[in-house]
Amino acid sequence: MAFENWSAFWAMGGYALYVWASYAITALALGLTLLQPLRRRKALFAELQRQRRRSAGEAMATVPTSTEKYEQR
């Protein structure tokens, strides 16, 4: 093993702050890279559902009811 004990491993020869900060920043960047498309997908599906409900409501408003059909004759 390159280090004599675990405390030497965690200290990284005096460079622990740099090394562990680099790992943390990398993990954060990778996590955000994975989560952002999932959040965007969720927002996209919500927007599509809103549009579908809105267009279904408009379609229902333009369809005459059964009594309106007979009143026009």
Per DSSP, the three-state class of 30 is helix
Q: Is the per-residue pLDDT at 54 higher than 70?
A: yes
Q: What is the rounded CA–CA span in Å between residue 73 and residue 62?
A: 18
Give residue 36's domain range. 6-71
pLDDT per residue as tens digits for the range 6-52: 888 888 888 889 999 999 999 999 999 999 999 999 999 999 999 99
1 lies in a domain? no
Q: Is the per-residue pLDDT at 72 higher than 70?
A: no
Residue for token digits 């498309």? 37
pLDDT per residue as tens digits for the range 24-36: 999 999 999 999 9
Number of structural domains, the chain?
A: 1
50 lies in a domain? yes
pTM of this structure = 0.54
Q: Which pLDDT does position 48 carry in this prediction?
A: 94
36 lies in a domain? yes
> What secondary structure letter does DSSP report for 2?
-
46 lies in a domain? yes
